[in-house]
Amino acid sequence: MIDGKKVLFSGMQATGNLTLGNYLGALKNWVSLSDEYLCFYSVVDMHSITVRQDPAVLRKRARSLLILYIAAGLDPEKNCLYYQSHVSGHAELSWILNCFTYMGELNRMTQFKDKASKHGDNINAGLFTYPVLMAADILLYQADVVPVGADQMQHLEITRDIAERFNNIYGDVFTIPEAYVGKVGARIMSLQDPSKKMSKSDENPNGGIYLMDDADTVMRKCKRAVTDSEGTFLYREEQPGLKNLIDIYSVCTGKTPDEVVQEFDGRGYGDFKMAVGEAVTSILNPLQKEAARLEKEKDYVDSIIKENAEKAGYYARKTLRKVQKKVGFPVRV
């Protein structure tokens, strides 16, 4: 807890292009949290290099992601928006925590197995110890809560295990983080395979709507979205493609799924897909305009990057100095 507020940490990787799923499932909901929590939202560019990146592209995407944070409504005065790589404490704490993490724990991480199967020519140590860096991200700011989906719960569990192990040896050093249990963001699925989450790494470009897609592209993807041959307009698991589109339309318009079903009952899927495309465009358009404006405000964005890195660094150093003293490193003079 800092200044009477609980601390919340989250971040996104600076790889690929953010999707509508990233926005509706996470980013949109982050905006309302700054009143209740002191929020640290990182562009986790250090995590990104476990897979080979084009340096110029990575730098550009990192800046674009930070701009999207602001364009989505995250106030940089209330929230700490920063690059992970600009705070050296992430790497320093990660090394220390590596020495308190067991090989067996890392071997059980499903994300390592998944990524290793996809990048067999680059199974590096960073990919293996990725969960330790993630633990350092969270523990560095003494985070009380972390918003996580089901696919990230394993990372939070190992973070808690590492923190508890360290605390058992050295005393009450780390806050043990909990999963954020507030308002849950919408779980948006692929438009082409509704059994999978909409992902920025989807090999099928029609599977995801990206935040920078123009209106024509959004409409085209919605028209091509998988539904079914039943022809009945119902919100149920047996019609996953239609259910996904109803979820998207529901979140974009503020209507409940039942209200959406009543609105389109008796109308064809084609009409509904058009309406979904228009609803998505209506929420993406203001975001895109604000991002375009911020892209031109170089000095302003640079000042945010500098000031927020200093703010994050201040809190990171407080934790890191405590940890360094506990493990026996010489005091800095």
Q: Which residues are catalytic?
A: 115, 197, 200
Helical packing angle, 240-253 and 257-264, nearest 10°: 110
Positions of E strands within the chain: 6-12, 37-43, 80-83, 145-146, 178-179
Q: Are 59 and 83 in contact (CB under 8 A)?
A: no
Q: Are 190 and 202 in contact (CB under 8 A)?
A: yes
Q: Are 144 and 33 in contact (CB under 8 A)?
A: no
* Phi, psi dihedrals of residue 225, rounded to the nearest 5°: -60, 140
| Dist. CA 257–CA 234, nearest whole Å | 9
Neighbouring residues of 261: CB distance < 8 A, sequence distance ≥ 6: 233, 234, 235, 246
Q: Which long-range contacts (CB under 8 A, 24 or more apart) does 168-172 make?
A: 169/100, 170/326, 170/327, 171/326
| Dist. CA 169–CA 162, nearest whole Å | 11
Pseudo-torsion of CA 324, 329, 331, 333, nearest 10°? -110
